[in-house]
Chains A and B, each alone.
Chain A
């Protein structure tokens, strides 16, 4: 086997080895060397992710059996179009976050760079894994890194918010294990492909137990994805942590969404026999309510970071709508919107960090303050990102929302979805224009004491902002690939197919 055959496991191994290397004294003693190493590692990750993307596009689904143990007994990694797309997303986000943090944010506490790499390892692992127990393991890897990252820099408020975040997620992990035990008890396997084969063949007395296990999993993933009513932790957590960490966390809710798609959209999807689409009756009202509550919270936000966190909740609701529509077209739209919303929210969090730094004591709260030294460039970026967040042309938010609205074919569903999504867009428009006016125009006097933005910070924001027009220019390619991802996801993968691909 050549090295190229092992490509599937690289998105997990590269961050892991970089993180371990960063802990050795020769690297951990010098912040400069740490920064260089992390940035090189992340550039490498972007390259690997895109090579993997092209490989999947040309050769179809890639399966990697660890230690060459075949599927139901050994551990497998499955790289289909959906997971490689998300790996590309996490690689780009990881690069932007490390560039931003290298401007000085990483000085506020120890081990920032290794933790970022461990977090990326967990995220990539969760996207690639082919069985439910390893999904749990990678969830724990990314969570324990996120616990420490969230508290990075310290401070009373971060500690207090972190207590909520950590304990909620620990309870979530216990529930995850209960759900896995329940499913293993009836199905006798935790491999996704094998589970998909066995779910339709369950006997009638096992149905109820399996159903309770599956719905328990929905609650666990819902907690990670911040769907109603499990979203209360998110605004405070994202708003009080440091900017690069908040930007990286923009993809964390999407890990929950991805898992819901994988488990409740496919395993318990159309082909699940008696248990087909058991989560849909729950998801449908929850999705709509998540959008509504998120939009109301957007209007009530008092600072830019809280506003942005609430926009994350709105985007989670929108994605849940596309899951509950349960068609290939809606899934395609959802995948496109997922890419867009992660990038644009992350960019807004980074921008909020620079704005906070340049406004001194006023931070990013919507109050009158002195002018920012670099208000011009920050203002232009703010307008671009606001256009993306609202979903106005010409940026990718418009295409994402248009695809979602177009995928609603049923009139009774359209009656609910169209007004809610368009209304949420209008509310975002009002809230963001009010925010922009206060931050940039309601000023008194010059401010000369605060630091100007570091070029690395602008480079990181530019990297994310540039992806928005690129997703429009290459919109055809991106939506074609999203469609491939949606088709592969909806078709599912049986154990036999999995083992054939593995050979």
Chain B
């Protein structure tokens, strides 16, 4: 179980980082969302993975760590608010600057220019 979980988290983070390395706000937002999913899963696993165990210590020997669950809840709420802000900002940037590149201007693409000519 641990191996599958770790591979999933790693793959999602890799996708997120790949998307964030693009220069456009749309892919950046998607990448950021993926990375925050990966973070939430990672935090969830930091207390150890258990199956069929209650979250509250009610005297049983086998219980799931409740703290990471509380942390994930907070992280999800904060991540959601931040993504909403980032989307609005990206839309504002798109309308103010006429393109969605993070620097405000598209960099000069020599290959595309050569193809055209």
Chain A interfacial positions (CB closer than 8 Å to B) = 133, 137, 140, 144, 147, 151, 156, 159-160, 162-164, 166-167, 170-171, 173-174, 177-178, 180-182, 184-185, 190
Contacts and interface: CB of A to CB of B under 8 A. Distances in A.
A164 B93 contact: no
Contacts of A181: 39, 42-43, 45-46, 68, 71
Given A137-B74, A140-B82, A181-B46, A167 B28 contact: yes
A210 to B, nearest CB: 12
Given A163-B90, A166-B85, A167-B28, 4 more contacts: A147-B89, A181-B39, A181-B46, A185-B47
Contacts of B74: 133, 137
A185 B102 contact: no
B32 A177 contact: no
A156 B96 contact: yes
Given A144-B81, A174-B36, A159 B92 contact: yes
6 contacts: A170-B82, A174-B39, A180-B43, A180-B71, A181-B68, A190-B67
Contacts of A137: 74, 78
B2 to A, nearest CB: 12
A163 B43 contact: no
B89 A174 contact: no
Contacts of A167: 25, 28, 32, 86, 102
B102 A156 contact: no
Given A156-B96, A171-B35, A177 B89 contact: no
A163 B93 contact: yes
B42 A178 contact: yes
Nearest to A143: B82
B46 A185 contact: yes
A159 B88 CA distance: 11
A174 B32 contact: yes
A184 B65 CA distance: 11
A160 B39 contact: no
By secondary structure, the A interface counts as helix
Contacts of A151: 89
A469 B35 CA distance: 49
By secondary structure, the B interface counts as helix
Contacts of A163: 25, 89-90, 93, 102, 104
A171 B20 contact: yes
Contacts of A180: 43, 71
Interface of B: 20, 25, 28, 32, 35-36, 39, 42-43, 45-47, 67-68, 71, 74-75, 78, 81-82, 85-86, 89-90, 92-93, 96-97, 102-104
Nearest to B44: A181
Contact of A159 (B32, B43, B97): B97
B75 A177 contact: yes
B43 to A, nearest CB: 4
Nearest to B78: A140
A92 B35 CA distance: 38
Residue from B74, B78, B81, B90 with most neighbouring chain A CB atoms (10 Å): B78
A140 B36 CA distance: 14
A354 to B, nearest CB: 28
A160 B99 CA distance: 11
A177 B96 contact: no
A156 to B, nearest CB: 5
Nearest to A134: B74
A166 B32 contact: no
Contacts of A162: 89
B78 A178 contact: no
Contacts of B85: 144, 147, 166
A22 B75 CA distance: 27
Contacts of A160: 93, 96-97, 103-104
Contacts of A170: 32, 82, 86
A70 to B, nearest CB: 15
Q: Sorted from nearest, which 7 A-B pairs have the closest CB atoms? A: A181-B46, A160-B104, A185-B46, A181-B43, A177-B39, A184-B46, A181-B42
Contacts of B35: 171, 174
A178 B12 CA distance: 13
B32 A171 contact: yes
A190 B68 CA distance: 11
A156 B105 CA distance: 12
A151 B35 CA distance: 25
B57 to A, nearest CB: 11
A258 B45 CA distance: 29
B38 to A, nearest CB: 8
Residue from A163, A166, A190 with most neighbouring chain B CB atoms (10 Å): A163
B100 to A, nearest CB: 10
A208 B46 CA distance: 16
B67 A184 contact: yes
Contacts of B20: 171
